[in-house]
Structure 1
């Protein structure tokens, strides 16, 4: 006797018991499980999405059920258009399931994953050095020199507080000025060369003693903190590497399969 015959109803009952009924449409229950196909990028985490979105999804599900009922009443499921669309959908599902099964057959060894990591850990898997800084941008060198003079001799919290005050009142970079000149964390590639060279050349908690000229004007920079270049740990990227290698191998395997299928098929262009 086949266990599957009895197992399927048990599983169905289990799913039904775990589903939370959200509404009924002409007696038919709509649960959170019915909304899963509508969640898109949110996956099946219905409880984690905003309440307003839950309401919108529920309304979509209710409308969908009403349309389905009406379509059946109108005999749409008996039409030629429906049968053609159904076959098209079934064929697509069959193709997709076959492709997924072929993908599952691809095996990537731990040795291959580790080898890829070791080969690329100094290029792909490197987090570059970063700096955290504030700046004050002004139009002239004289303005920048006056600001540096006002900050001279200050250290620690006193320097940070005065720098933020001057940034808010003097800086023409209004985006950062509102936050006391704060630029946050950045690596050397994100800023113009002159600015990056000056910022990364400073010690933490110090300012530029000369104005830094760029195409935007003259900068006074306060370096708040820094992070050294680091290599991302193998364990953090292992799964990503494995999927990448599997995808690349899958493309090769599928191309080989398609070549064989086409060789054995009679294809006529008309």
Structure 2
């Protein structure tokens, strides 16, 4: 799906521009759902849950596979993980299954360009299906929230506050942690982790404008041109809150440095204004 089309879908503009199509499609869906037997509907929900479970790695269980040593970052920090767990990633599978003699028990992988904090999130996801801070369902508000999101100090025995940013040695500055995790998941071919990181990032609040723009450039620099979800997330967020970015004084300085991200932002903004104009035209009374 092209970036602009996905961006329009995120912002809901495609539904506003085509009210007639939306109406007919929605009515047909409603008709079908009403005629659907309760048992059949329950079967659909069950199949959907099974599919989601298959797409995410299962919780860790005792395994007998070899232990792999991971040498990570410029400081060469050491991590260990089971080979079978790592092979949920296509990236590690190609290295461990093709790059070593079969049955080898002393395997190590060097990842000097990786950030230890990001790799720690990857390993936690592979073993547990999530990474700290966990994504929790608030039944009272029927919404998602991050673990300890309202508790800066943390409960006794907890792991502390859920810091939304991290220092990235390659950037030399602070960037959004979930953006780094998303880009790492893209590299390792972990689609479930990408979806999780994107949802978590959407729950973060109070991030400085400079950090958002720096993280947007990082997202562009560390994802292929065919990747559009994370890029569209940044474009849509800036368009929705454009007045804040305009008044910040940071935007002009950042744009003067030049980056592909700002060209896409310009195109997305133009398309957004065209869509608004089309909505106004469709809603205005026609002269008889």
**Category of TM-score, reference length = shorter chain:** under 0.3
* Bigger fraction of residues in helix: 1
TM-score (norm 2): 0.20
* Bigger fraction of residues in strand: 1
Higher Cα Rg: structure 1 or 2? Answer: 1
